[in-house]
Amino acid sequence: MTVSAPSGANAADVSAVGTILRGPTIGERIREWSPAVILFFGALASWELVVRVFRIKQFILPSPVAIGVAWWTYLPELASAARYTFIEVIGGLAIGVTAGLLAGALTARYVAVREAALPFAIAANSIPIIAFAPIFNIWFGLDTQFSKMMIAAVLVFFPVMINTVRGLLSAPAPALELMRSFAASERDIFLRVRMPSAVPYIFTALRISATLATIGAIIGEYFGAPKVSLGQYIVTYTSYLNFERSWGAIIFASAIGMGLYVVVVLVERIVAPWAADRSTAPT
């Protein structure tokens, strides 16, 4: 039963809730995850099989084993390229998320700002900002990490800003009336109702942002970056038709995107356990 749901949910008896909170046992976890794990390795195996049986050329689709071997062989240079790109992603996230949160808070707080800025933000959110990547490289330096950070930051900014506004304005009318009945100050309303209401919205934006920032940094590198970056690594070895090494870099790029996503999910469980808990609760 959230603040927003007036349904008077007959939320079961409390002992039943206790078993839900206890979490799954190891056996349950294995059973829960095994289909996904089987699918993953099954797909890899059939990939390998298809490449071998149909003798697919290495430069069209290398086999998983070939990619694995290349990945292991070139691990040191791949790792330093990944480190270079990772810094861009993190920097972009830091700049974009901070700016998005601030802009969102201002927009939610002041009606005038909201009416002026929000339509533009929503419009900007639907244009392919990634198309600006080459221009950003010119503006902020072709060979710098900073220009890729800025691409990532701009990609991240709009979803974070819009979700922050939505979240801050999501507090339901009865909750605000309740605060009014207690003669609560604006500050109390913001800190005790609006901010907590916004947290799940903001985490939704952060999950999207983890992926967007990774995409932004790598695309930015496609248009100009030192060799020791995942984007240039992919571009270079693709042009040499040395696809295993490109795929090795793609593995790292995927790991950055997925890793950040997982981090966001874990942080959300700590910061906003109510939002995570409720998704597993009976309704």
Partner 1 sequence: MTDATTSTPSPGMTGSPVVSLVGVSKVFPPTSPGSRPVDALTEIDLTIQPGEFVSLIGPSGCGKSTLLRVIGDLTPVTGGMVMVNGKSASEARRGREYGMVFQAPVLFDWRSVLENVELPLQITGRPARERAGRAREMLDLVELGEFTNHRPWQLSGGMQQRVAIARALALDPDLLLMDEPFGALDEMTRERMNLELLRIWERTGTTVVFVTHSIPEAVFLSTRVVVMSARPGRITEIVDVDLPRRRDVDTRELERYFELVTHVRTALRRGESASTSGTARVRAEGLSG
19 binds partner 1 (CB under 8 A): no
7 binds partner 1 (CB under 8 A): yes
For partner 1, the closer of residues 126 and 279 by Cβ is: 279
What sign does the CA torsion over 35, 36, 37, 41 have? positive
* Among 34, 42, 274, 280, contact with partner 1 (rule: CB under 8 A): 274
For partner 1, the closer of residues 181 and 239 by Cβ is: 181
Size of the site for partner 1 (CB under 8 A): 38
272 binds partner 1 (CB under 8 A): yes
Residue 176 C-beta: closest distance to partner 1, Å: 10
277 binds partner 1 (CB under 8 A): yes
For partner 1, the closer of residues 113 and 199 by Cβ is: 199
9 binds partner 1 (CB under 8 A): yes
* Among 2, 58, 73, 80, contact with partner 1 (rule: CB under 8 A): 2
Footprint of partner 1 on 111-150 (CB under 8 A) = none
Footprint of partner 1 on 173-202 (CB under 8 A) = 174-175, 177-185, 188, 192-193, 196, 199
Q: Which long-range contacts (CB under 8 A, 24 or more apart) does 196-199 make?
A: 196/272, 197/3, 197/167, 197/168, 197/170, 197/171, 198/164, 198/166, 198/167, 198/168, 198/170, 199/167, 199/271, 199/272, 199/275
Q: Near partner 1 by CB under 8 A, which window of 9-17, 135-143, 158-166, 260-268?
A: 9-17
For partner 1, the closer of residues 265 and 272 by Cβ is: 272
d(C-alpha 34, C-alpha 42), whole Å: 12
Residue 274 C-beta: closest distance to partner 1, Å: 4
Residue 26 C-beta: closest distance to partner 1, Å: 25
For partner 1, the closer of residues 5 and 262 by Cβ is: 5
3 binds partner 1 (CB under 8 A): yes
Residues that bind partner 1 (CB under 8 A): 1-3, 5-14, 17, 21, 172, 174-175, 177-185, 188, 192-193, 196, 199, 272, 274-275, 277-278, 281
